[in-house]
Amino acid sequence: MNIADNNTVQVTIHGKSYTIKGKADSSYISGVANYVDMKMREVEEGANSAQDEGKVAILAGMNITDELFAARQDKDKIENRFEERVQALSELIDETLST
């Protein structure tokens, strides 16, 4: 990997500054950091009492992972419906051409 392929971005997550290096566009990296920050703040706001930062990070990570898993399930359902429709159309075409 060429060092020139990496972008370096300064981000703030949960009040702390981090330098992130990655191949993605700097605006994308900032957007990801902002999303993590938002999810951590949501967890913190939903807590009845002050929470340890590590616990907040873990719970935010769990929430983000839940969103990812739900999106994957939705994608799988859409793919299955698409495949079923393609199969039905293929069968209909075969029937039509054979008559």
Where do the domains of the chain lie? Answer: 3-98
Q: Tell me, what's the pLDDT at 4?
A: 56
Interatomic CA distance for residues 37 and 45, integer angstroms:
12
Helix (H/G/I), strand (E/B), else coil: 81:
helix
- With a cut of 70, list the residues of the chain below it in pLDDT: 1-4
Burial of 60 by CB count in 10 Å (0-12 exposed, 13-18 middle, 19+ buried)? Answer: buried
> What is the reported pTM?
0.78
Q: Tell me, what's the pLDDT at 1?
A: 43
pLDDT > 90: percent of the chain: 86
